[in-house]
Amino acid sequence: MNKETPTVKEKAIYQAVVDLFMEGADLSGLTVSEITAKAGIGKGTAYGYFSDKEDMIARSICYNVDQYCHWIYQGITEQKTLYEKIDFLLGKMEKEISKADCLMRLANTMSMDSVIGKRIRQQEVENNSKNPPLELLEAVFEAEHFTPPLSEEMLQFLARNALSRIFCYGMMLSNNSVRAQKMAAAQKMAPAQKMAADFQLTPDKPPSAAALHAKRIQTEAQQLRENERLCFSVLSDYAHVLRDWKVQYAPQSPDEPVHARFVEACRNLDRTEYYLDILCAGDSHERAEVIQQQMADEKLDRLRRRLEKIHKEELEDGYDTADVA
C-alpha cells in the first residue's frame, strides 16, 4: 500500500478526482482545468506536483483505493475468525454502498487496458507495490497463521478468488434492480462459507494442494471457455466484414486501383475462416492454440476495437454491412 504521505494540495487533487468521479464524470474525459477548479488550486500549482492529467487521475485512484482498503483492514483486524472478517468486509460494503461502489469502479479502472490503467500499473511496478485490494486480502489470509504456513502462490490464489467473489457481491449490491438486490441478499453470507467449502479451509488446516489444484483447473477451464467465446465472436465479426469488403471493394476494371480493404480481405479471409473452423470443430488442443495465438500481445483486443471503429464509421456513413450479400 502507498507509504508516502501526500501534501495538502495533492490530497485536494485526489479528493477532487473522486468527487468528480462520484458525480458521474468520465475519467478519460476529465480536463486539468476541471480537476484543479474542483480542488480549488491553480493549474500552475498542480503541475508542480503532477506531470499531466493522467498522473493526477492515476495517483488519485491509487491513493483513494489504498486509503479505503486501509480503513477496512483496521476493522478486520478486530474480528476473530475468517468468517467474521469476510462478513465484516461485506457489511461495510453494504452500509457504505456509495464508498463501496466508488471503490469497485476505481479498482476496475486499475485493471482496464486504458491510458490511465496502464499508468497505474506502471506506477505499481516503479514503486514495487501491489494492487491494494489484493494486498488487503492476502493480509487477511496470512493473519490466519495456518500450519504449515501458506505458500506465496497459495496466498495469491486465495486472495484473487476471494476478491472476484467479493467484487461480484458488490456489483450486485450496487445494482438498483430488484433482482440484483435479492441476489445480493441471498449471497451475503456465502463468500466465506463458499471459500471454505471450495478450498477445504479451516483456521487450523490450510487448503490442501489437491483442493487448490482442482479449483485452479476449474478456474482455468472457465477462463478458457470465456476466451473461446470471445475469440469466436470477434473472428466471426471480422470474417463477416472481410466478406463484405471482398464484394464492395473489388476492382471493377483492370485499370482501377486496388483498394486496401480488398487486399486485406483477400489476404485474411481464408485464414480467419480457418480459425473459425478450428474453434467450431477442432479438438481441445487445437482450439487452445488458436485462442492463445489470438489473445497474445492484445491482438484480439486490438481487432475488437478496430471492428468497433469500422462499424461506427459505417453507421455514420449510412452503410450497413448486413445489406451486402
CATH classification at residue 130: 1.10.357.10
* Boundary residue ending a domain (176, 207, 238): 207
One domain, residues 171 and 306? no
245, part of any domain: yes
How far apart are the C-alpha atoms of 28 and 306, rounded to whole Å? Answer: 19
**186 with 238, same domain?**
no
Residues 183 and 223 in one domain: no
Range in 61-70, 89-98, 139-148, 166-175 the model is least confident about: 166-175
Same domain, 274 and 176: no
Number of domains within the chain: 2
| Average pLDDT estimate for 248-273 | 89
Domain boundary among 180, 207, 234: 207
Its domain, for residue 257, covers: 217-323
- Domain presence at residue 3: no
Whether 49 contacts 13, CB under 8 Å? yes
Tell me the average pLDDT across 92-121: 66
pLDDT band at 102 (very low <50, low <70, confident <90, very high): low
Predicted confidence (pLDDT) per residue in 177-186, tens digit = 444 444 445 4
Q: Looking at the structure, tell me whether residues 177 and 250 fall in a common domain.
A: no
Query: Do 167 and 249 lie in a common domain?
Result: no
pTM across the whole model? 0.51
In a domain, 1, yes or no: no
The predicted-structure confidence for 133-168, as pLDDT tens digits, reads as follows 778 888 888 777 776 777 777 777 777 777 766 766
Degrees to nearest 5, angle at CA 101 with 300 and 159: 65
User: Furthest-apart CA pair in the chain: how many Å?
Assistant: 81
Residue 39 shares a structural domain with residue 142: yes
Q: 205 forms bridges with which residues in the sheet?
A: 202
